[in-house]
């Protein structure tokens, strides 16, 4: 992406509070004192056969970027690629799933755009709101902060499993679908309650790629305790059998920024590198909030694991212990 953007003129308006400079989750534009717009767009192809479940997952994934900035979604536009000859009942179910996720988020579907395509694609353009004083970016992690993760890893396996000729692991499937359909709304509320300094959500670049971006943008290093990272049921075993294409892509992109200090199993290593769909939030949170996590988890109905810490350096290096 950096190569594609090279040479293009960047926005310089002082009202642009968050742009593309640090590869953040969404753009933030100051509309008026005390009110800023959060804007993002995402689109994806199906990883499950059920059109309703896919629609719900795709919408949840798109909404996540607004939550990662500390914002609340307000309106969305559907973006749909759909084969003209395909049964429109499938399209209706997909849109119904997306609409239900948007409704749960407290936002409104106000329109959209559909185009004829060879394969199904679906996502949202989301507009949210945020107090300019409460924006959480990916560039303010501080030395001494703990690294929190609010969803288990492993959803990248699902697409490969569904394309295989073998029997789908039902336990893993149900757990993966449940986590992908869960909004990051509660995680956002916990993030703000904990005065989180930096955040991002875990998607295409995987845990290691996204945390490396946070460390680099913040001018710090990061240490991850591999065995503390939560994963979906049976995910370690399945990650060896069904290798997510994101593993090789992310490893080739970020391997020079990752230092392995301890032995990590093949399955766990694949999960750390692999892409996630509708993943959790990664939060750089002041250490003093650890004692309150149990109460906050109950209040906001989220899962949280302390998986690492931010350190003084080397800058942008991810250390696995």
Residue 245 CA to its chain's centroid (Å) = 17
Is the model's pLDDT at 1 over the cut of 60? no
> Which of these ranges, 9-23, 120-134, 184-198, has the smallest mean pLDDT?
9-23
- Note whether 283 and 183 are same-domain residues: yes
- pLDDT for 10 equals 74
- pLDDT for 8 equals 75
- Note whether 68 and 157 are same-domain residues: no
Is the model's pLDDT at 290 over the cut of 70? yes
- Number of structural domains (the chain) is 2
Whether residue 151 lies inside any domain: the answer is yes
Whether residue 139 lies inside any domain: the answer is no
Task: Specify the CATH number for the domain of residue 210.
Answer: 3.90.650.10
Whether residue 58 lies inside any domain: the answer is yes
- Note whether 173 and 244 are same-domain residues: yes
- pLDDT for 162 equals 87
- Note whether 200 and 256 are same-domain residues: yes
Is the model's pLDDT at 5 over the cut of 80? no
Whether residue 141 lies inside any domain: the answer is no
- pLDDT for 206 equals 97
Average pLDDT value for the chain: 95
- Note whether 115 and 195 are same-domain residues: no
pLDDT tens readout for residues 214-243: 999 999 999 999 999 999 999 999 999 999
Q: What is the mean pLDDT of residues 126-140?
A: 97
Confidence category of residue 119, pLDDT binned at 50, 70, 90: very high
Q: What is the mean pLDDT of residues 99-124?
A: 98
Angle of helix 156-163 versus helix 245-254 axis, rounded to 10: 140
pLDDT tens readout for residues 18-35: 998 888 889 999 999 999
Q: What is the mean pLDDT of residues 247-271?
A: 96
- Note whether 106 and 84 are same-domain residues: yes
Q: Which domain holds residue 215?
A: 146-320
DSSP at 255: G
In sequence order, the 6+-apart residues with CB closer than 8 A to the CB of 34 are 131, 132
Q: What is the mean pLDDT of residues 127-141?
A: 97
> Residue 31 and residue 54: Cα distance in Å, rounded?
34
Is the model's pLDDT at 9 over the cut of 80? no
- Note whether 308 and 174 are same-domain residues: yes
- Note whether 241 and 289 are same-domain residues: yes
- Note whether 101 and 242 are same-domain residues: no
Q: What is the mean pLDDT of residues 236-265?
A: 95
Q: Is the CB of residue 190 less than 8 Å from the CB of residue 236?
A: no
- pLDDT for 195 equals 96
Task: Specify the CATH number for the domain of residue 89.
Answer: 3.30.1330.10
Asked if omega into 314 is within 30° of 0 (cis), the reply is yes
Domain boundary among the residues 100, 134, 168 is at 134
Residue 232 CA to its chain's centroid (Å) = 16
Residue holding tokens 């059109």? 51
Is the model's pLDDT at 49 over the cut of 70? yes
- Note whether 153 and 78 are same-domain residues: no
Domain boundary among the residues 134, 162, 187 is at 134
Beta bridge partners of 130: 36
Domain boundary among the residues 101, 134, 167 is at 134
- Note whether 10 and 74 are same-domain residues: yes
- Note whether 185 and 261 are same-domain residues: yes
Q: Give the predicted TM-score (pTM) of the model.
A: 0.95
Whether residue 95 lies inside any domain: the answer is yes
């Amino acid at each position: 992406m950096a190569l594609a953007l090279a040479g293009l003129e960047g926005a310089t308006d002082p009202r642009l509070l968050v742009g593309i400079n640090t590869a953040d989750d969404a753009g933030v534009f100051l509309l008026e004192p005390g009110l800023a717009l959060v804007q993002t767009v995402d689109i994806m192809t199906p990883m499950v056969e059920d059109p309703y479940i896919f629609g719900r997952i795709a919408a949840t994934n798109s909404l996540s970027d607004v939550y990662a900035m500390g914002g609340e979604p307000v309106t969305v536009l559907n973006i749909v690629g759909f084969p003209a000859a395909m049964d429109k009942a499938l399209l209706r179910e997909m849109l119904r799933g997306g609409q239900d996720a948007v409704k749960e988020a407290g936002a409104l579907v106000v329109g959209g755009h559909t185009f004829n395509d060879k394969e199904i694609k679906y996502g949202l353009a989301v507009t949210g709101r945020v107090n300019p004083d409460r924006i959480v970016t990916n560039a303010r992690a501080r030395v001494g902060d703990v690294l929190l993760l609010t969803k288990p890893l492993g959803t990248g396996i699902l697409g490969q499993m569904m394309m295989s000729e073998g029997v789908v692991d039902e336990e893993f499937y149900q757990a993966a679908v449940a986590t992908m359909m869960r909004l990051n709304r509660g995680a956002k509320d916990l993030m703000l309650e904990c005065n989180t300094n930096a955040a991002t959500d875990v998607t295409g670049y995987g845990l290691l790629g996204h945390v490396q971006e946070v460390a680099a943008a913040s001018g710090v290093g990061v240490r991850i305790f591999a065995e503390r990272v939560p994963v979906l049921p049976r995910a370690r075993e399945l990650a060896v059998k069904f290798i997510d294409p994101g593993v090789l892509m992310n490893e080739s992109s970020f391997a020079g920024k990752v230092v392995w200090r301890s032995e990590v199993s093949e399955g766990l290593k694949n999960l750390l590198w692999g892409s996630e769909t509708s993943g959790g939030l990664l939060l750089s949170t002041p250490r003093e909030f650890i004692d309150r996590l149990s109460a906050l988890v109950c209040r906001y109905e989220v899962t949280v694991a302390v998986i690492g810490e931010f350190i003084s350096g080397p800058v942008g290096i991810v250390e696995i212990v």
